[in-house]
Structure 1
Amino acid sequence: MYPVTTLILAINLIVFLADLLLDGRLTIEGVFYQHPDFSKYGLFEPWRYVTSIVLHAGWDHLLFNCFSILVFAPPLERLVGHFRYFILYLLAGIAGNALSAIVHAGSVYLSVGASGAIYGIFGAFLYLAVFRKADLDEGSRKTIYSMLIFGLIYSLILPNINIWAHVGGAIAGLAIMGIWVKTNLAKKLQMHNQNS
């Protein structure tokens, strides 16, 4: 069972459907929105770093992100545990929004979607693929490399893609996994490999 992954998928779908019923009011209230004149518009609203993670711009955006979560999140949730996985997902999403805010400082900017959090999953697996090769088989490592290359190309060629959320999320996921591996999670990974 993957309760956190299931919960994230359910929240994404419920929020999207509710937003449709409310004519986009949830998006207006929760979108990650930045304006150069924060004091005039009163737009420093920190909850948007989180709420924008569960909002999506359309069915295609929602389905693509949910598919990515469905494919890549369960192995990570199983590997690191439910709570750690939730923390990584949330912090990666916030980090993606934070990097976007830094890069787009001084400009009007909108962003929604779970991509930063999803790239946090990729970043966590990238850490394992590069620094803990014994924890992933060769096929899994190749899949991670392929997904990151595909994601980078996808981010560069398609319009309206928040590449900085992807980069920020991936860096956060890689860093968080690195911290965990350097601490007591390394023992859990060794036990997981022995039981596999």
Structure 2
Amino acid sequence: MELWRIPVSQLLHARMLHMLFNALWLLLLGHRLERRIGSLRLLLLWLVAGGLATAASPIGVEAPWNVGTGASQALFAFSSCALVLARRQAIGRGYTAAVASTYLAIGLILDLVTAGHPKLGHLAGALLGSLLGAAFLNLPENPTGTTK
């Protein structure tokens, strides 16, 4: 098995609009989350939650759409992690919660419109992001040696 394909697939996008949408939300949310959890944990969140969710995304999907691509799964993880941290006031509550909630809502609406149901990869990303967010609550805010 070529495991390198999992993180790389998160950088590939089937449609330009999909990539631009993800880039916008990464810009709006990523830096705030990185300041709170640090660069290494942000990378861990991207690779673990995004990677596992991307691996799960083709399950039950008919060809030719049975491939996991795009950063959406990782951004669902980022958004749910940010919501967990915002709920506990471990990260700027108002802006962060609004951006994260908006991403999750738009993503869910797009899933319902395009697929008729929430996509498994998006749900997996949100669940894994929430779990890692809860774990990050018990760790020091921004570990030494990371970007502030």
Q: TM-score range by the shorter chain?
A: 0.7 to 0.9
Q: Is 1:89–1:117's contact at 8 Å kept on the other side of the alignment? A: yes
Bigger share in helix: 1
Q: Distance in 1 between matches of 2:40 and 2:126?
A: 19
User: How far is 1:69 from its partner?
Assistant: 0.9
Q: Is 2:33–2:91's contact at 8 Å kept on the other side of the alignment? A: no
Unaligned runs of 5+ in 2: 143-148
CA RMSD of aligned residues (A): 2.6
1:98 aligns to what?
55
Matched, 1:147 2:103: yes
1:76 aligns to what?
33
User: How far is 1:133 from its partner?
Assistant: 3.6
Aligned in 2, Cα 1:49/1:66: closer, same or farther, shift over 3 Å?
Answer: same
**What number of residue pairs does the alignment pair up?**
140
Matched, 1:45 2:45: no
Aligned in 2, Cα 1:141/1:65: closer, same or farther, shift over 3 Å?
Answer: closer
Higher alpha-carbon Rg:
1
User: How far is 1:96 from its partner?
Assistant: 1.0
User: How far is 1:159 from its partner?
Assistant: 4.8
Q: What is the one-letter code of the residue matched to 1:93?
A: G
Q: What is the one-letter code of the residue matched to 2:128?
A: A
The percent identity for this pair of structures is 29
In the TM superposition, structure 1's runs of 4+ consecutive aligned residues that sit over 4 Å from their partners are 159-162
Aligned to 1:54, the other structure's residue is in SS state coil
Aligned in 2, Cα 1:126/1:49: closer, same or farther, shift over 3 Å?
Answer: same
User: How far is 1:160 from its partner?
Assistant: 9.8
User: How far is 1:181 from its partner?
Assistant: 1.2
User: How far is 1:126 from its partner?
Assistant: 1.7
Structure with bigger RCO (C-alpha 8 Å, 6+ apart): 2
What is the CA deviation profile of residues 46-83 of structure 1, one whole-angstrom value per residue up to 9, with x for unaligned ones? Answer: 33222211111132122111111111101001111111
Match of 1:137 among 86, 89, 93: 93
2:43 aligns to what?
86
1:119 aligns to what?
76
Aligned in 2, Cα 1:62/1:135: closer, same or farther, shift over 3 Å?
Answer: closer
Unaligned runs of 5+ in 1: 1-43, 190-196
